[in-house]
């Protein structure tokens, strides 16, 4: 099946987090941390997914001393531009977040870059916080590679989360605050449109 962008639709994962018997307790919140290129665009997608309670852009993969934008741009810190997602698992599952990540957030076959943004800080990565997240992510990548939905193999790193460092305040909600920025117009607004077109049941407007 083809999407509105002309590419094959990314299937849902065959395995996902299993709710506890009786369902999720009231007000349960889970976390996910992903990296998929410039964090402005990654945030602009996930903050519009139903069930996502809060998103924060920042850095993962390096030390606290280098967790700042100027240092990370040197491409020598080990950090990736990342996003921390706080979500309600009774509304949206970890597997569904992964599906959005691989579908409309970025191209997971590009190594250490996304489009014109080049360097290890723009790498594709899933920072897992439990063995369950690790297993689901690894099996999903194998599933996607086996289906041939992408023309090239997925290069997404699946690594344990050591720590997530929040980014500078001016980076938070950047796409929403700067909708006329040429970079946002070209790189990020189309991703929001793709989310709405491919996952209308998940899409909700974000007002900050």
pLDDT digits over 111-135, tens only? 999 999 999 999 999 999 999 999 9
Within 13 Å and on the Cβ side, how many CA atoms surround 88? 13
Mean pLDDT over 181-187 rounds to: 96
| Distance linking the first and last C-alpha atoms of the chain | 34
Tokens of 106: 């970025």
Q: What is the pLDDT of residue 7?
A: 61
How many angstroms separate the CA atoms of 58 and 81, rounded? 6
Mean pLDDT over 142-152 rounds to: 96
Mean pLDDT, the chain, rounded, equals 95
For the ranges 15-19, 35-39, 82-86, the lowest mean pLDDT is seen at: 15-19
Bridge partners of 113? 118
Please report the sign of the dihedral spanned by the C-alpha atoms of residue 18, residue 106, residue 45, residue 60: positive
Burial of 111 (0-12, 13-18, 19+ CB in 10 A): middle
Q: Scan for tokens 């040429």, then name that residue.
A: 182
Active site residues: 38
**Crossing angle for the helix pair 39-46 and 189-198, to the nearest 10 degrees:** 30
Give the closest residue to 128 by CA, choosing from 162, 102, 156, 104: 162
How many angstroms separate the CA atoms of 18 and 75, rounded? 38
Give backbone dihedrals phi and psi of 124, rounded to 5 degrees, phi first. Answer: -90, 125
DSSP 177: H
Tokens of 176: 């929403």
Q: What is the pLDDT of residue 11?
A: 96
Q: Which domains does the chain have, with CATH numbers?
A: 30-192 (3.30.1060.10)
For the ranges 8-12, 55-59, 69-73, the lowest mean pLDDT is seen at: 8-12
How many angstroms separate the CA atoms of 35 and 166, rounded? 13
Tokens of 148: 């041939």
How many angstroms separate the CA atoms of 30 and 9, rounded? 27
Q: What is the pLDDT of residue 65?
A: 97
Tokens of 117: 């943004």
């Amino acid at each position: 099946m083809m999407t509105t962008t002309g590419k094959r639709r990314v299937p849902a994962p065959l395995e996902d987090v299993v709710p506890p018997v009786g369902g999720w307790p009231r007000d349960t919140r889970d976390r996910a941390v992903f990296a998929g290129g410039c964090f402005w665009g990654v945030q602009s997608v996930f903050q519009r997914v139903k069930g996502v309670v809060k998103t924060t852009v920042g850095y993962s993969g390096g030390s606290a001393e280098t967790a700042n934008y100027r240092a990370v741009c040197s491409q020598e810190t080990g950090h990736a531009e990342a996003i921390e997602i706080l979500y309600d698992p009774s509304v949206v599952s970890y597997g569904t977040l992964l599906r959005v990540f691989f579908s409309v957030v970025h191209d997971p076959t590009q190594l250490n870059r996304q489009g014109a943004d080049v360097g290890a800080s723009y790498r594709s990565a899933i920072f897992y916080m439990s063995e369950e997240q690790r297993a689901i992510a690894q099996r999903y990548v194998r599933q996607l590679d086996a289906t041939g939905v992408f023309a090239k193999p997925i290069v997404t790193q699946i690594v344990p989360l050591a720590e997530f460092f929040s980014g500078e305040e001016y980076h938070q909600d950047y796409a929403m605050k700067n909708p006329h920025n040429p970079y946002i117009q070209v790189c990020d607004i189309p991703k929001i449109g793709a989310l709405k077109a491919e996952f209308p049941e998940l899409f909700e407007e974000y007002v900050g």
